Structure 1
Amino acid sequence: MNDKILKILENRNIKPTSNRVLVLKAMLNFDWAFTLADLENELISVDKSTISRTIHLFRHQQLIHSFDDGSGSVKYAVCNTECNCSLDELHAHFYCNYCKKAFCLNNIHIPQFDLPPDVEIEGVNLVIKGFCGKCSKIAT
């Protein structure tokens, strides 16, 4: 696992410190998009500012992406190895109203928009909400 993590960091030009390896390992263990609080709960031996700085670095180096699913907490997900977070790679996300987890829908791409020439897109957020089909459907 550590060789895989080291290779992922190397491919994004990120120096593999022990804390960065720990944070990425925790991120890869999530089966859903995670929050800063999820990481803090998972990595109790790593201080909050280190986790926050690592998230910022990983986003800057396009190792992870973030989105707002309307739950009040920014969600993060590890990008595919080929992803450069360009506008044509943006995809939809799904938020389960019952288990409160969010997932990437990599196969649903954000459509192109015909905007006025002086308008520049800096981001698009498409979140589909409903029942994920995996949880008990009991609202918490």
Structure 2
Amino acid sequence: MKKDIEDKLMGKGVKPTTMRILVYEVLQDQNVALSLSEIEHSFQAADRITIYRTLRTFEEKGVVHSIQENNTTRYKLCDEDCSSDRHKDWHLHFYCRHCKQTTCRQEVRLSPDWETAVRIEDVRLFARGVCENCLNVD
């Protein structure tokens, strides 16, 4: 598994350091987007600045996309077809007000192929509500 992560990182032009591999593993094991603090809590001892720099490098190289949620930035692994020059983050990000988790909803997508005179590079789709897990509990 570590070799797969190394290959994925190198394929995106990212040097696979130990911390980068560890951060990738944390993100890979989650179905929800994580904040810097949540990622930091996954480690017993880690430098917050190193984790932040890792996430910035990942975002620049198309490994993760960031989701702005109020005053918090959350991170989720990108699809394989994202790159450093173009994130293909054309899906809905959903925040559940009950469980406080943010998930990527691939079933709600926009097409980047609109007929327009401008070049759209980034779209931020964000919704709040109650997720299916929390609805089933109520």
- Residue of structure 2 equivalent to 1:133: 132
Runs (5+) with no aligned partner, structure 2: none
AA aligned opposite 2:10: E
Compute the TM-score of the two structures, normalised by the length of structure 1: 0.82
Q: Secondary structure at the match of 2:105?
A: strand
AA aligned opposite 1:65: H
Instruction: Give matches, 1:15-26, under 5 Å.
Output: 15-26=15-26
Deviates most, 77-86 or 40-49? 77-86
- Residue of structure 2 equivalent to 1:106: 106
Matched, 1:7 2:17: no
* Number of equivalenced pairs: 135
Is the 2:81–2:88 contact (alpha carbons within 8 Å) kept by the matching residues of 1? no
CA distance in 2: counterparts of 1:129 and 1:35, whole angstroms:
17
Deviations 1:4-45 (A, max 9, x none): 211211211111111111111111112201111111111232
CA distance in 1: counterparts of 2:94 and 2:8, whole angstroms:
25
CA distance in 2: counterparts of 1:80 and 1:103, whole angstroms:
14
CA distance in 1: counterparts of 2:25 and 2:101, whole angstroms:
19
AA aligned opposite 1:132: C
- Residue of structure 2 equivalent to 1:77: 76
Q: Secondary structure at the match of 2:15?
A: coil
Runs (4 or more) in structure 1 with deviation over 3 Å come to 84-89, 111-115, 119-122, 135-138
Alignment root-mean-square deviation, CA: 2.4
Is the 1:23–1:43 contact (alpha carbons within 8 Å) kept by the matching residues of 2? no
Deviates most, 84-93 or 26-35? 84-93
Compute the TM-score of the two structures, normalised by the length of structure 2: 0.83
TM-aligned CA deviation for residue 88 of structure 1: 5.9
Runs (5+) with no aligned partner, structure 1: none
Matched, 1:123 2:122: yes
CA distance in 2: counterparts of 1:87 and 1:13, whole angstroms:
15
TM-aligned CA deviation for residue 124 of structure 1: 1.9
Question: Aligned residues: percent identity?
Answer: 29
TM-aligned CA deviation for residue 129 of structure 1: 1.6
Q: Secondary structure at the match of 2:94?
A: strand
Is the 2:82–2:88 contact (alpha carbons within 8 Å) kept by the matching residues of 1? no
